[in-house]
Structure 1
Amino acid sequence: MGKKLAVLEIINTLTGNSHQSLKAKVFNDSVHGHIEFHPLLVMIIDTPQFQRLRFIKQLGGGYFVFPGAAHNRFEHSLGVCYLAGKLVRSLQRNQPELEITDKDILCVQIAGLCHDLGHGPFSHLFDLFFIPKVRPDFKHKHEHLSVLMFDHLIEENHLEAKLKENGLDGEDLLFIREQIEGLPKDSSQKQNDDVWLYKGRGREKSFLYEIVANKRNGIDVDKWDYFARDCLNLGIASSFDHKRYMKFARVIEVDGDKQICSRDKEIGNLYDMFHTRNNLHRRAYQHKVNKIIETMMVEALIKADPHLRIFPGANGRKLTMSESLDDMHAYTHLTDSVLEHILFSQEKDLKESKDIIQKIFTRKLYKCVGQTQPTADTELEKPLEISKAICLAVSEEELKGPQLDSDDLVVHVVKMDYGMGNQNPVDYVRFYSKENSNTAIKIGKGEVSQMLPENFLERYIRVYCKNRDAENVAKAERCFAEWCDKKKFSKPKPGNFLDTAMTLVKKRPRDGTCGPSEGPKKSKKILGNTYKGM
């Protein structure tokens, strides 16, 4: 028996597997198939702080528009961890001169696993729209909350000893935090060619910071997973192949930093990646119905916040959602379930919030008035100022009645880009040729194709009306059209403008029976009565 174990150990050493692999856990993932995790990663996964991600939907309010978008931050985090390990191992195997250690690999995987720990209810809805309204003093993004939650997870579950057992020290923990958040927000300097500001790893391993969250050009495993996972669950095709990109990834020194570069022939695959990103934003993330549902959800959460003191803090005191940002013990209990808590509550103080949520469930959404596209060089005012200007665009005499109330309008300024504003992110990628694999080169857009975009940013202005009364909506449409004309913007498309992701209209049966389009109205009425009785 002893000889068999010795032979097995030799085989594991030759194949790159260690005794840890025998204790690894296998997950069956819907995107990546059977994926294997190091025992330390499994310990992190099996904590309340990480399991919380099961109850936070990846696409926020997108589930109310796309029924398949029920996936969550838990499975996404597993996917990012897996891809991070796969990419860094590929670099280790192909370029031993980089001296990538097993400890480096484990740190990169932990960063990938924990990069989204700080997300609040309904993901970006919480940190982009809720937090700025209720806590304008809180200037951090969800990445900072992820670092705070990571530290809380380690301390609360007494994992310090396990980290040491796996060879991780304070410098490694700093490296993990830096991968998640980047440089500290209060840093007096930005990373430049002369000074290396990261402390977890030296400049010779700068490429490791480009795997989980690439600040240079946005090409990282986080995007690779959510592109594949979101496309799968949304039913949207993706033309980007991250497996192929990995095959040709190579680290080359550029201006003193070691960067992850790609083969010159892969530039088309990279443009496909950014096109996939734009396509997802256009068809799903920025879908006009999705965005107004998220706006209504934010309104409901803001109104509920002062009265929803249900999250137990570290000292036992119950905190609100906004107060939980300063207490990770309370934040651990903050998930999408807050919506059901409001909906089923009998508290009178939560009635306004409850009414808004009932409107979402019964599809009594704010009415989309229309959409216009300003010119690229136009400086736009803030949405509130645009709302006021639209209301004043037509006088009371012309309307033959009172003007619109700006509080009745919702204005969204929607940005579509490749992730870097009006810049082409591929300009920040370096490539190599088959003949010279150690020299990084830049490839201009004109050298690739004449059919690539000239501009990488476009904006739309959408207007919604809270009062769904036909007369009020018609008034809003007229004011919006007049405002667009004065601004010399494109003529606004009506509220039912065609989205590229809109579902095809179901035809009425020829036998004269009630068609699919008539059924939901009755269902909405029944559903509405049900919620009113709660």
Structure 2
Amino acid sequence: RDALFLGIGRQHDHNRYMKSVKVIFDEDGLKTISPPEKDKDHIRENILELRKTLHRFAYQHKTVKKLEQHMIDILMLFNKHATVTGTNNRRMSIAEAALEVDLVAYPKLTDMLVETRLLEAEEEGLKEACQLYQKTFIQRKLMRNVLIWWLPPAEEVAQRLPTTQQFLREMWELYDQSGPSRPSKDFARDEVRCVDAKLHYGMKQVDPIKKIVFHDKQGQPRLFEDHDANPLRQKFFVLWSPPDELEQTDVPQRLSMAAMGVASTYTTEPETTPVSPLRRKSRSGDLEASPPPSTPKVRLRQKRQLQVESSYPVNTEIFERKPA
């Protein structure tokens, strides 16, 4: 259904799959559902890759991530004043009804309950939440992209990849160390958020193909391992709703440059490679080996291209180091 409405071609035939599978014993003697080995590429391309595509195009799209953050803010404001009736006519906040799983109040927590009260805007206590809903969901004034960064595969970098909180800490350190000659206006730093998207086959870093027991034409179990598979790709979204007075200042560009500076530190890995000794010909035509070098030569592995996006054009002149 989702692939159809997103315009993504789907080639997987569930009926054909169910007709081709068998129940066989695996290496531990347990019964397992086994597809034929000829379907390995089909399962990879039309099931596993389709899942990643749907998450990239829809479920974890940058606009979805922004709307999720806005909805969190709206529900936090909504929860302060909105109540529902629970067991024994007890008035409960929506958070209490959800956490306590009240048998009367919990079924009332639907999208229609929240959306109707936000659109009607009849309650004075919900005024702030209603205004934020109108601005973000109705007028579509969403957060801006300070930076969108495709993280490199973990095996390609020497250091551990950062978490979202660690990325923000390093970004603020770089932001404070560098800046323009004139001071910038203050703003609430907790409004700058970093959220991640994990695109995988359903088992994070594990390739599901390794877990499937296939069978050959004789019905014997077979296992496969695809060394070219890329089961997990991670993406960071640094989002911010800048106040109107800061939109035309250098703050958004500085934030974008600081975030890009942190991301760039995770794109190279030092690699130590011994230098091959050169051979030269003697006058007699025989080859003579030159003495090996005393120390190996250290070189940097070729840089992976930094995959980033930003709503703000980056100007390197505003991100110079402050004089010591």
Q: TM-score, normalised by structure 2?
A: 0.72
Q: Is contact 2:175-2:254 (8 Å) kept? A: no
1:74-473 aligned within 5 A: 229-254=1-26, 255-271=28-44, 272-310=46-84, 312-325=85-98, 326-337=101-112, 338-360=114-136, 361-377=138-154, 378-395=159-176, 398-399=179-180, 400-402=182-184, 405-436=188-219, 439-445=220-226, 453-467=228-242, 469-471=247-249, 472-473=251-252
C-alpha spacing 1:396/1:264, structure 2 compared with 1 (3 Å)? closer
Query: Partners of 1:291 and 1:434 in 2: how far apart?
Result: 46
Q: Is contact 1:410-1:466 (8 Å) kept? A: no
Q: Is contact 2:21-2:33 (8 Å) kept? A: yes
Q: Mark the structure with the bigger radius of gyration.
A: 2
**2:206 aligned counterpart, secondary structure:** coil
C-alpha spacing 1:366/1:318, structure 2 compared with 1 (3 Å)? same
Query: Partners of 2:119 and 2:177 in 1: how far apart?
Result: 39
1:455-494 aligned within 5 A: 455-467=230-242, 469-471=247-249, 472-488=251-267, 491=306, 493-494=308-309
Greater fraction of residues in helix? 1
Residue 58 of structure 2 aligns with an amino acid whose one-letter code is: A
Aligned-pair distance for 1:487? Answer: 4.7
Q: Percent identity?
A: 26
> 1:363-402, CA deviations, whole angstroms, 9 ceiling, x for partnerless residues?
1101112222333335344434432432331337623323
Greater fraction of residues in strand? 2
In structure 2, stretches of 5+ residues that fail to align are 269-304, 313-324
In structure 1, stretches of 5+ residues that fail to align are 1-228, 447-452, 498-534
Q: Is contact 1:484-1:492 (8 Å) kept? A: no
Q: TM-score, normalised by structure 1?
A: 0.45
Query: What is the RMSD of the two structures over their aligned residues, measured on CA atoms?
Result: 2.5
**2:35 aligned counterpart, secondary structure:** strand
> 1:286-309, CA deviations, whole angstroms, 9 ceiling, x for partnerless residues?
111111111111221122123211
Aligned-pair distance for 1:430? Answer: 0.9
**2:5 aligned counterpart, secondary structure:** helix
> 1:324-348, CA deviations, whole angstroms, 9 ceiling, x for partnerless residues?
2321332211111113322323333
> 1:189-244, CA deviations, whole angstroms, 9 ceiling, x for partnerless residues?
xxxxxxxxxxxxxxxxxxxxxxxxxxxxxxxxxxxxxxxx1112222222322222
Q: Is contact 1:370-1:462 (8 Å) kept? A: yes
**2:34 aligned counterpart, secondary structure:** strand
Query: Partners of 2:175 and 2:117 in 1: how far apart?
Result: 43
> 1:476-530, CA deviations, whole angstroms, 9 ceiling, x for partnerless residues?
2222223323454864633359xxxxxxxxxxxxxxxxxxxxxxxxxxxxxxxxx
Q: Is contact 2:150-2:308 (8 Å) kept? A: no
C-alpha spacing 1:346/1:373, structure 2 compared with 1 (3 Å)? same
